[in-house]
Amino acid sequence: MLIVNIQSFNYPNSEKETLSQVSFTLKKGEHLAVLGESGCGKSTLLHLIYGLLNLDEGKILYGNKELFGPRHNLIPGHSFMKLVSQEFNLMPFTSVAENVGENLSRINIEEDTKQIDEVLKAVGLLDTRNRKVQSLSGGQKQRVALAKALVNRPEVLLLDEPFSSIDTFRKNELRRNLFNYVTKHAITCITATHDAEEALSYSDRLLVLKEGEMLQLGTPKEVYATATSVYEKGFFGEVSVFEAGTISEKELVLLPHELEISEVKTALKVSIAKNYFKGSYYLVEATFKGKTIYFKNRFKVTQLQVFLKRYKQPFF
C-alpha cells in the first residue's frame, strides 16, 4: 500500500505553499488520477512521491517503509517506481527497442525481447522497434518513454501528463492498451492530468487539486456527481452559472446536459447566440439575463428564444 500524507510543501525561497494537506492511500494495482489545472501542484506531488524532492512536513510510505528525497538518497528515485515526466530521457542515436530494454538484465535475451515487444505493442510502436529514436515524432518519443517505464513492470508507475504529445486519433487506443497493461500486471498507478475524460474513464479513484489543496477525493462517479464549483465542473464541460436569487437561494453551476429544451413554458427564457456542431449533437450558446449559458441539443437551434428546463422539471 502507498500512503501519502503531505502536510505542507513549498520550494526553497518561496513563501507560497505548493501543496497543503494532501493525503491518500492506494492499494496494490489501484489507479489514481490527479486532476487539476496547470500549476496546481500535480507534478510536484509526483516528484515528492518518486523522491526527487525533500518532504519535511509529512510522510510518504510504501508498505512499512518510509520514502525519502535526495537528502537521504545518493541517487534520487526509488527502484520499484518509474516516473514518466514531460521531459523524455531517451538515447536518440539508438533504436526504439534498445531504449526500451536499456535497464533489462540481458541474462535471457529471448525473454527480454518478449518483454520489449509486449510493451511496444501496448503503446503501438511494435513496427518501429528498429528505428532510431531521433527519427521519431514527439508523440512517438513519448510512447517510447512509456514503454521504457513499463518494461520492468514497476510496482508503482507515476505518469505526468503522459499523452500530452500524442495525436487525438491515437490517444484513445493508447490509453486503453496502456491502462489494460497496468491492470493486467497489478501496477499501482498515479496519473497527473487535466483531461477529465481520461480521469473519469480509466481511474479507480480521482483526486481534484486546486492551488495545491485537495477539493475532492473519491471514485470518478462520486467526484463527478458531487462537483459543485465552476472549477470542478469546468473540467467536464462548459458551465452555466446562475447567481443567488435567480433560481435558488445559492449559486447554481450546471453542465450542458443539465439544461434542455422544455416542451412546457418555464421561467428560464433564453436567447440563442451560437450553435457548435459536435457530431452527435449541437452545443448551444445562449444568454439569460446577460449571462452566457450552454446546453446540448440534437438539432441546430435557430429560434430567437427557447424555453429550458433541468431534469425535465420546472425551476420554480
Mean pLDDT, residues 48-77 taken together: 91
Given 205, 227, 249, the domain boundary residue is 227
Enclosing domain of residue 267: 237-309
We report the CATH number of the domain holding residue 260 as 2.40.50
Q: Are residues 66 and 173 in the same domain?
A: yes
Q: How many domains does the chain have?
A: 2
Q: Are residues 16 and 152 in the same domain?
A: yes
User: What percent of the chain clears pLDDT 70, i.e. is strictly above it?
Assistant: 95
CA distances, 203 to each of 35, 196, 217, 303 (Å):
11, 11, 12, 41
Kind of pairing, strands 205-210 and 31-35? parallel
Q: Does residue 56 form part of some domain?
A: yes
Residue reference for cell 528515485: 77
Query: For position 67, what pLDDT does the model report?
Result: 93
Buried b (16+ CB within 10 A) or exposed e, 92-122: eeebbbebbbeebeeeeeeebeebbbbbbeb
Q: Are residues 210 and 137 in the same domain?
A: yes
Given 227, 246, 281, the domain boundary residue is 227
Q: Does residue 101 form part of some domain?
A: yes
Query: For position 315, what pLDDT does the model report?
Result: 46
Query: In the beta sheet, which residues pair with residue 82?
Result: 157
Query: For position 310, what pLDDT does the model report?
Result: 54
Pairwise CA distance, residues 212 & 224, whole Å: 20
| Nearest CA-CA partner of 100 in 139, 140, 146, 138 | 146
Q: Are residues 29 and 73 in the same domain?
A: yes
pLDDT at 63 over 70: yes
Entry pTM: 0.88
Q: Are residues 221 and 253 in the same domain?
A: no
Stated length of the chain: 316
Q: Are residues 213 and 256 in the same domain?
A: no
Query: For position 276, what pLDDT does the model report?
Result: 94
Q: Are residues 172 and 208 in the same domain?
A: yes
